[in-house]
Amino acid sequence: MLKAVVGFIVGIVVVAVGGYLMMPSLMFNEVQSPFGFEETIARIQHNIADSPELKEKGWAISGLRNPARAVQTDGGNVLPVMMVEVCSTKYSGPILREDTVRFLSILMPCKISIYKKQDGKTYIGTMNAGLMGKFFGPLVGETMGKVAQDQKLFLIMDPTKPAPPMIMPSAAPAGGGGGAPAGGC
Mean pLDDT over 39-49 rounds to 97
Which of 2.60.120.430, 3.30.530.20, 3.30.310.70, 3.30.70.2970 is the CATH number of 27-154?
A: 3.30.310.70
The band of 175, judged by pLDDT with boundaries at 50, 70 and 90, is: very low
Would you say residue 116 has pLDDT above 90?
A: yes
The pLDDT assigned to 148 comes to 93
Domain boundaries, the chain: 27-154
Would you say residue 8 has pLDDT above 70?
A: no
Is there a contact between 163 and 42 (Cβ–Cβ < 8 Å)? Answer: yes
**Taking the model in full, what pTM does it have?**
0.80
- Listed residue (86, 130, 140) closest to 111, CA to CA: 86
Mean pLDDT over 36-57 rounds to 96
| Dihedrals phi, psi of 65, to nearest 5 degrees | -120, 150
The band of 21, judged by pLDDT with boundaries at 50, 70 and 90, is: low
